[in-house]
Amino acid sequence: MSDRPINLLLIDNDAIFRLGLSNVLSNYSDFRVVVQTDFSQPIRETLDEEQSIDLIILDPDIPNNASQGWKFLEELKQTYPTVKRCLLTHLTDPLPLQTAKQAGVEGYCLKGITIEELIDQLRQIAQGQTVWPTLAIPSVDVSRKKPKSPQPWLLQGKQSGLKQINDTIAQINLRLNQSQLSWVDKEFWKGRKRELLAAKWLVNQLIPVDVIIVAPPPDSTLSSKELENRINLSIYLAESLATIPGFKSPNSLEIAKNTLEKSAINSKNLTSTPLEIDILQPDKRQELITIVIHQFGRSLEDLKFIKADAPELPKDTGTITQRIWQESAINFLGKYCVLPPKITLEDLENIVDDYTSLVEEEILEQIPFIDELLKYLLFEQNLMVEGVLYRPQSPEARHKAEIFLDNFIIQVANGIVSLILNNFSEIETIKEKLYLEKMISSREIAKFRNNLSWVYRQEQYWEEPRNIFESKYRLLFWSEKGIEATFIHAPRQDELKQLKGIPWAVTIILESRDAFAPPLRSVVGLIGHGLVYLLTQVIGRGLGLIGRGIIQGIGNSLGERGRGGEGFGRERQPNGERGR
């Protein structure tokens, strides 16, 4: 193998992870990915056709059957003894791993290691070495004493277990999207997924978190209900922060922490337009936001592994956004919208699949700065703020990245509530579980949906074209008081060139207004000054002169009359004298 590259067969049910890893390995001249596939494809036929495969990289923990992946490993050893095998998985359970090691599997790598470590271990395996980390098999002699607080290993085990469950659920979703599955297979996978969701709930209920709750002072004005809500909120936040994946660096962890805390304290909508999440009860709204943040973190975790040394992310960030929305929607709807036999989990997944294209067009495709946010959180790249490039640790860059994340989380959550409003708005059980009490009536829901519809049309045909023309984005973020809106300037020339129909006409109207407004204002101003001059200097003065002449004429007339009376009296006196 020294004179040619190491030929690899990559098997993983996560299509995004598989593609990213293949791209990373292609940067190394001593590796060549011959085929990348998942367990739904005829892998044995591929091995028969490609006789030169040296190493198989696979994740045996597949969702459709707990034992299928491990049986496949045994068959590989028997049928293709010269082909080496390396497990690349999130699985950390020592029992199946120890069994695989004893069965002769040459290597095991945990997803999340650096790409340098992975490349080094793959080279060792290809050269005939066995690469296995030390497996910590739990001892059966465990103390029965009640712990005063959860142990760190327990919290880590909980986080790892929840991560495995979520990853397996994501793989099941990919599997169920395949059209060639039979009805029996789909039902089996759906049952497997329900088992995982039940296991996830059980883990959250049975394993506590390390939370310190400070009691309020005796003279506290909080009611017992408010106190209970605050305690529950502190426990929920602590658990969320303890198990949140993906946000590992100090910058990203601080941003995620701030987003969770601010959204929990106050999610009141302070903008001038309604949001879909306004209809949810506060605790349900916070739960949905937390689910979206966790799904975002899991995507970060996968992308960090497959792009650990590559500064370029996949060009199609829409695929990442779509995946986060779909998985978040399934997790949230699976808890509150499953009403067997009327609405099953399979029905929900079909609804999510059918609604994906609509929510992409209306909401997801309009989310900006996803690429910049991912690069900042994954690689801590510098961030442009108001035309100035700031280092990742600067307060300006951290604040801007936090706004980007807030807007992403809010918009994805809006898309999930939009699905609920359009598919379950008249089901009383779901309304009582999710909606605010004042919004439960059919009339209020209809008014709310009509307002949202008007907002969609206004944004589509007026607000967004104007923002594109003015080179700015409208972003939503959590302030200390609630959800507010802000504008961030950025070039949008490509979007401007692609506008058609009414949005294009809006930009023409705005441009025409800008073009004709100055001379029109000048003309109007000139006419206005002329009218003022005509009214004041010509007509006004003329009217003033006329009025003054009339007044003078009246005064003269009165004066002459007065002078005439005095003369008559004087003429009388002489007559009287004559009389004497």
Q: What does the pLDDT read at residue 116?
A: 83
Q: Give mean pLDDT, residues 429-437.
A: 90
pLDDT confidence of 21, banded at 50, 70, 90?
Answer: confident
Compute the chain's Rg from CA coordinates. Answer: 37
pLDDT in tens, 54-75: 888 888 876 555 566 777 777 7
* Half-sphere exposure in the Cβ direction for 153 (13 Å, CA): 3
pLDDT confidence of 419, banded at 50, 70, 90?
Answer: very high
How confident is the prediction for the chain on average, in pLDDT?
Answer: 76
Number of continuous H segments (helices) and E segments (strands) in the chain: 20, 9
pLDDT of residue 17 exceeding 90, the answer is no
pLDDT in tens, 523-534: 666 777 777 767
Residue 438 DSSP class: G
pLDDT of residue 97 exceeding 50, the answer is yes
Q: Extract long-range pairs of 198-204: CB within 8 Å, 24+ residues apart.
A: 199/165, 200/162, 200/165, 200/166, 203/158, 203/161, 203/162, 203/165, 204/162, 204/239
Q: How far is CA 158 from the centre of its chain?
A: 25
Which has more confidence, 75 or 520? 75
Domains of the chain, by residue range, sit at: 6-126, 209-215+224-372+393-427
Per the listing, tokens 């002489």 go with 574
Q: 488 - beta bridge partners?
A: 473
pTM of the predicted protein model = 0.58
pLDDT of residue 397 exceeding 70, the answer is yes
Q: What does the pLDDT read at residue 280?
A: 92
Q: What does the pLDDT read at residue 315?
A: 61
Residues sharing a CB contact under 8 Å with residue 265, sequence separation 6 or more, in sequence order = 480
Q: How far apart are CA 40 and CA 266, in angstroms?
A: 46
Q: For residue 241, which of 205, 211, 199 has the smallest C-alpha distance?
A: 211
Give SS3 for 89. Answer: strand
Per the listing, tokens 């801007």 go with 400
pLDDT of residue 200 exceeding 50, the answer is yes
Q: Give mean pLDDT, residues 318-346.
A: 87
The β-bridge relationship of strands 472-478 and 483-489 is antiparallel
| In the chain, % of residues over pLDDT 70 | 74
Q: How far apart are CA 234 and CA 264, in angstroms?
A: 9
What superfamily would CATH give domain 6-126? Response regulator (3.40.50.2300)
Which stretch of 237-246, 294-303, 467-476 has the lowest confidence by average pLDDT? 237-246
Q: Give mean pLDDT, residues 297-316.
A: 68
pLDDT confidence of 503, banded at 50, 70, 90?
Answer: confident
